[in-house]
């Protein structure tokens, strides 16, 4: 009897299977695919298919009339904002109002056939869908967006084998292109100097602090040379690859208009990046606190373009040109810094990665088009507006609305436009040309007549000192 019971257990009869006392056990899903449709309904002027908290925020920020007037720009802004600014977990209780930096991994391309890793482990693919042709002819056309979420499983499904466990066909191994934390840390160990930086440098005043770490002035004990040190706690850095990118760019590229790298150390999971010290601080201090004249603006643009052109010649896009990332020295030095968002390109190669800071961002990035080196030129034009007006366009707007205005307006209005010289107006128009093909290159702009107005950058010293006094920020050249 036991033999029959065991046999029946594994090979039940038809009656056994269909009997009401038998309950089928259904396993948990192993691969989950969930489609969420974000739709702009032109009848109602509202977005459908998104969490209520998002909907209210978006409608209050952009407005129904503007969404109906320029739905493509509205959706571009919403999709960009959705992918790169929001924590993808759960609904949003509040939205950021300060200028957050955008970063989406290099593989996150819109309209591709693969989903790549996003922040917090969520994976999404965003693409436009064609309208349902079966809809009623009286219904207003709708613009739809599909967000295909595949981040609900712990691991991605493995690629199926061809025809069983053994196949005569050799299959290419797919590489994600991303380094694991262990690989990044191993690379840090490889590139860092083995010495203890605390025995080499004496820490001095703090120069600034942010999400990526603290920057402080220091003195090299053996020579008395003053340096700047960026101290980053790697345990608090979710994007360690960006830091690795920044260090590698700084180590390989040396130019008079780039902040030059000196050394890097790893101490108790803290990365110390040692750079040359510029005692004038960021250009932001000057543009927000003092009024610059055209010849001084021309001088800053000239030196900044020198750094941009050098990067572009070496196949690098900076992708985050703004006044915060231009440092000044009282000796007249003007240098680009912060290379965490740099990308390596070849020739006229294009990218589609969504990266940068919203207010300085080129329209082609917001509109999710392929872009090239000229995104840095657009950002330079916005930085020139900073030097005219004291802030970039749309700074008083929320990031989402700023993205919408960039996508819909293209070249921004400049309140002081009529007060500018014809040469400066033309320079700005060449920088802020929406058509990427018509926008000037760094090489072309370096010979622009506006730059011939440039005066010595040492004329900025009174501006630097005035700004530091107003902001109570002093960076002395000596201890």
10-residue stretch averages of pLDDT, the chain, 479 residues long: 51 51 58 58 67 71 73 71 50 33 39 32 30 35 32 34 49 57 86 93 86 86 93 85 80 89 92 92 94 97 97 89 94 86 53 62 85 92 97 90 88 95 98 95 97 96 94 65
Indicate the domain borders of the chain.
Answer: 34-149, 181-276, 281-471
Kindly report the number of other CB atoms within 10 A of residue 421's CB atom: 13
| Buried/exposed code over 375-407 (b: 16+ C-beta within 10 A; e: otherwise) | bbbbbbbbbbbbbbeeebbbeebbbbbbbbbbb
In this predicted structure, what is the pLDDT of residue 257?
95
Beta-ladder partners of 326? 336
Contacts of 357 (CB under 8 A, 6+ apart): 99, 100, 101, 102, 320, 322
Q: How far apart are CA 319 and CA 475, in angstroms?
A: 28
Question: Which letter does DSSP use for residue 156 in this model?
Answer: P
Which class for 438: exposed (0-12), middle (13-18), buried (19 or more C-beta within 10 A)? exposed
Helices (H) and strands (E) in the chain, counts: 16, 17
In this predicted structure, what is the pLDDT of residue 183?
85
In this predicted structure, what is the pLDDT of residue 407?
87
Helix (H) or strand (E) holding 319: none
Q: How far apart are CA 455 and CA 296, in angstroms?
A: 6
Quote the pTM value. Answer: 0.67
Predicted confidence (pLDDT) per residue in 313-344, tens digit: 988 888 889 999 999 999 999 999 877 655 55
In this predicted structure, what is the pLDDT of residue 445?
98
Active-site pick, 83, 226, 319, 430: 319
In this predicted structure, what is the pLDDT of residue 253?
85
Where do runs of H (alpha helix) occur along 27-178?
52-61, 64-69, 71-84
| Six token digits for residue 15 | 């009656």
* The architecture CATH gives domain 181-276: 2-Layer Sandwich (3.30)
In this predicted structure, what is the pLDDT of residue 206?
87
Active site residue 319: yes
SS3 call for 218:
strand
* CATH superfamily placement of domain 281-471: Transferase(Phosphotransferase) domain 1 (1.10.510.10)
């Amino acid at each position: 009897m036991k033999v029959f019971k065991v046999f029946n257990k594994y090979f039940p009869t038809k009656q056994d299977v269909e009997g009401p006392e038998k309950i089928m056990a259904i396993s948990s899903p192993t691969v989950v695919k969930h489609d969420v449709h974000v739709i702009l309904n032109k009848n109602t002027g509202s977005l459908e298919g998104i969490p209520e908290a998002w909907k209210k925020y978006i409608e209050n920020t952009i407005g129904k009339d503007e969404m109906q007037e320029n739905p493509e720009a509205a959706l571009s802004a919403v999709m960009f904002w959705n992918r790169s600014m929001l924590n993808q977990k759960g609904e949003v209780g509040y939205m950021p109002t300060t200028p957050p930096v955008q970063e989406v991994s290099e593989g996150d391309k819109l309209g591709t056939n693969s989903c790549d890793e996003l922040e917090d482990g969520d994976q999404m693919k965003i693409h436009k869908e064609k309208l349902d042709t079966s809809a009623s002819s009286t219904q207003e056309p709708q613009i739809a967006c599909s967000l295909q979420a595949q981040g609900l499983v712990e691991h991605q499904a493995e690629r199926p084998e061809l025809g069983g466990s053994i196949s005569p066909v050799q299959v290419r191994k797919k590489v994600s292109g991303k380094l694991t934390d262990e690989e990044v840390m191993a690379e840090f160990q490889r590139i860092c100097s083995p010495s203890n930086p605390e025995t080499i440098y004496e820490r001095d005043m703090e120069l600034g602090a942010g999400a990526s770490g603290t920057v402080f002035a220091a003195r090299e004990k053996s020579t008395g040379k003053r340096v700047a040190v960026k101290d980053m706690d790697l345990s608090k850095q979710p994007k360690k690859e960006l830091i690795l990118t920044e260090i590698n760019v700084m180590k390989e590229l040396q130019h008079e208009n780039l902040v030059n790298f000196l050394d890097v150390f790893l101490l108790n999971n803290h990365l110390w990046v040692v750079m040359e010290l510029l005692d004038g601080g960021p250009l932001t201090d000057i543009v927000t606190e003092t009024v610059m004249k055209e010849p001084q603006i021309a001088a800053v643009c000239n030196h900044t373009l020198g750094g941009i052109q050098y990067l572009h010649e070496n196949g690098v896009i900076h992708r985050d040109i703004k006044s915060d990332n231009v440092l000044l020295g009282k000796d007249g030095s003007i240098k680009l810094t912060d290379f965490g968002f740099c990308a390596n390109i070849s020739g006229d190669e294009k990218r589609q990665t969504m990266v940068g800071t919203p207010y300085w961002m080129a329209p082609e990035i917001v509109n999710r088009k392929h872009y090239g080196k000229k995104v840095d030129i657009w950002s330079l034009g916005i930085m020139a507006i900073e030097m005219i007006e004291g802030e970039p366009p749309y700074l008083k707007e929320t990031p989402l609305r700023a993205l919408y205005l960039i996508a819909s307006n293209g070249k921004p209005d400049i309140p002081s436009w009529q007060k500018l010289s014809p040469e400066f107006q033309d320079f700005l128009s060449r920088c802020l040309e929406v058509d990427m093909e018509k926008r000037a290159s760094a090489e072309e702009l370096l010979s622009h007549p506006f730059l011939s107005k440039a005066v010595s950058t040492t004329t900025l010293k009174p501006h630097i000192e005035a700004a530091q006094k107003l902001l109570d920020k002093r960076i002395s050249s000596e201890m």
